[in-house]
């Protein structure tokens, strides 16, 4: 069970902080059921109320600093999602996003990064689909890394991108 102040990933909402744990004082809510009150950490406003025993949404702890470093150092070994069919690719992106897993987010980012390069070299534009999922995956990954490294998401992105570029040039 998470405690007040803990950070966690809550489904596609991303990084949240536990504000309270207890019953909800709202009409129609059972008084004997425990709920988390979650605040999305990097967005203003809004609260999420979810049962402590919620098994319909992925709820997991933020990766540790050590796990984050391991992920970054292993990024050149993470496979890309090479799917030629646009509709199938979108399904792959959606499925990867639903897993709420940093390795899957990195797979999306890596895939789209190389697709962008290939398309630009061929004189083609980057697809709106790729742009959308690239932004979503980056946002979710760098927000989680920011908590693990205790830095701003933009700093986490700079750090990860520099390591990614270093891995590409060395590999």
What tokens were used for 111?
């895939």
pLDDT band per the 50, 70, 90 thresholds, residue 168: low
Give dist(CA 77, CA 171) in Å, integer.
Answer: 10
Q: What is the per-residue pLDDT for 76?
A: 82
Q: Residue 30: CB partners within 8 Å, gap ≥ 6?
A: 23
Residue 82 is predicted with a pLDDT of 78
- pLDDT of 171 over the 60 cut: no
Q: What is the pTM assigned to this prediction?
A: 0.89
Q: How far apart are CA 89 and CA 129, in angstroms?
A: 9
- Nearest to residue 109, comparing CAs of 165, 63, 43? 165
Which residues neighbour 36 within 8 Å (Cβ) at sequence distance 6 or greater?
A: 2, 18, 20, 21, 48, 49, 50, 51, 52
Give the chain's radius of gyration (CA, Å).
18
Q: Which tokens in the block code for residue 62?
A: 């933020």
Break the chain into its structural domains and give their ranges.
7-61, 65-170
Closest Cα partner for 59 from 67, 50, 68, 46? 50
Q: Please check whether residue 158 is in contact with residue 166, taking contact to mean a CB–CB distance below 8 angstroms.
A: no
Percent of the chain with pLDDT strictly greater than 70: 97
Q: pLDDT tens digits, residue range 32-80?
A: 899 999 999 998 879 999 999 999 999 999 999 999 999 998 888 888 8
Distance of CA 80 to the CA centre of its chain: 17
Among 3.30.9.90, 1.20.58.1290, 1.10.4160.10, 3.40.50.12780, what is the CATH number of 65-170?
1.20.58.1290
């Amino acid at each position: 069970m998470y405690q007040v102040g803990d950070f966690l990933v809550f489904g596609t909402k991303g990084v949240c902080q536990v504000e309270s744990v207890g019953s909800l004082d709202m009409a129609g809510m059972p008084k004997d059921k425990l709920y988390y009150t979650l605040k999305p950490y990097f967005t203003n406003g809004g609260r999420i109320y979810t049962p402590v025993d919620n098994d319909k949404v992925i709820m997991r702890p933020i990766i540790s600093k050590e796990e984050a470093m391991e992920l970054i150092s292993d990024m050149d070994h993470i496979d890309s999602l090479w799917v030629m069919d646009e509709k199938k690719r979108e399904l792959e992106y959606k499925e990867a996003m639903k897993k709420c897993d940093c390795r899957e987010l990195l797979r999306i980012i890596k895939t789209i990064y190389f697709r962008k390069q290939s398309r630009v070299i061929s004189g083609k534009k980057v697809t709106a689909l790729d742009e959308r999922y690239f932004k979503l995956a980056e946002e979710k990954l760098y927000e989680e890394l920011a908590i693990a490294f205790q830095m701003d998401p933009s700093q986490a992105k700079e750090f990860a991108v520099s390591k990614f570029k270093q891995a590409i040039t060395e590999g």
